[in-house]
Homo-oligomer: A and B are copies of this chain.
């Protein structure tokens, strides 16, 4: 799952000659909307961003969370997801260069295509897991993912709401809440307010997350491009 929340550094390479603008958004504010022309891509300087889609039945699906250093909005054509500020955020904003304009070296295109293929691979794995894993396994993996995000500190900050987590993992708020409580009751975590959790039994949590976490975080064949782990959210097309 870790790979769902990291971003393609390659995009930066493709646009490195362009200058950036720094923008601020308040928590909850829309950064860009689904379907808008994807004329800019963003890098998180501070805070947390989520990307989401809305479906015909009204359900919301979060496709990724982005933290300091992560890139989002690197879509092609139009944005395939909306992006919203989870917390107050500071982002750097870059103009999109046409990925296939004449100034782009073939080698970078090659890398970009490779990244896309790998993102598809990740999506497939995630797909499988969404259909075959329990709420407990999903949440355990999610927490381990946040831990990794926090440089491995056992004290995890959870910037997003329960409903964000639910819409990301394909669960309901109730189930997420119950599962948090359950993990705490089993001594695996200690809940410290709404936005903070301490992992008290890391091996236990890992063993629950098990393959779920492994199969998303650890990609065996990383020989082609290290930055190829992609967030689903930023790879939607027009």
Binding site for B on A (CB under 8 A): 35, 53, 55-57, 59, 61, 63, 75-78, 80-81, 99-100, 102, 106-107, 109-110, 112-114, 116-121, 123-124, 126-128, 130-132, 170, 211, 214-215, 221, 223-224, 228, 232, 235-238
Q: Are B170 and A131 in contact, with the CB atoms below 8 A? A: yes
**Identical chains in the assembly:** 2
Also in contact, A237 and B118, with CB within 8 A (given A100-B109, A221-B78): yes
Complex-state Cα separation, A64 to B238, whole angstroms = 23
Complex-state Cα separation, A228 to B102, whole angstroms = 24
Q: Are A106 and B100 in contact, with the CB atoms below 8 A? A: yes
Q: Are A77 and B224 in contact, with the CB atoms below 8 A? A: yes
Given A61-B128, A63-B124, A109-B109, 14 other A-B residues pairs in contact with their CB atoms under 8 A: A59-B132, A61-B124, A76-B114, A80-B117, A81-B124, A113-B113, A117-B237, A120-B120, A120-B232, A121-B236, A123-B124, A123-B232, A127-B232, A131-B131
Also in contact, A117 and B55, with CB within 8 A (given A61-B128, A132-B170): no
Also in contact, A77 and B117, with CB within 8 A (given A53-B124, A131-B131, A170-B131): yes
Q: Are B116 and A116 in contact, with the CB atoms below 8 A? A: yes
* A130 touches which of B127, B223, B236 (Cβ 8 Å): B127
Residues from chain B with a CB closer than 8 A to the CB of A112 are 113
Q: Are B120 and A77 in contact, with the CB atoms below 8 A? A: no
Q: Are A80 and B120 in contact, with the CB atoms below 8 A? A: yes
Residues from chain B with a CB closer than 8 A to the CB of A61 are 124, 127-128
Residues from chain B with a CB closer than 8 A to the CB of A130 are 127, 130-131
Q: Are B117 and A120 in contact, with the CB atoms below 8 A? A: no
Q: Are A128 and B53 in contact, with the CB atoms below 8 A? A: yes
* A238 touches which of B35, B76, B117 (Cβ 8 Å): B117
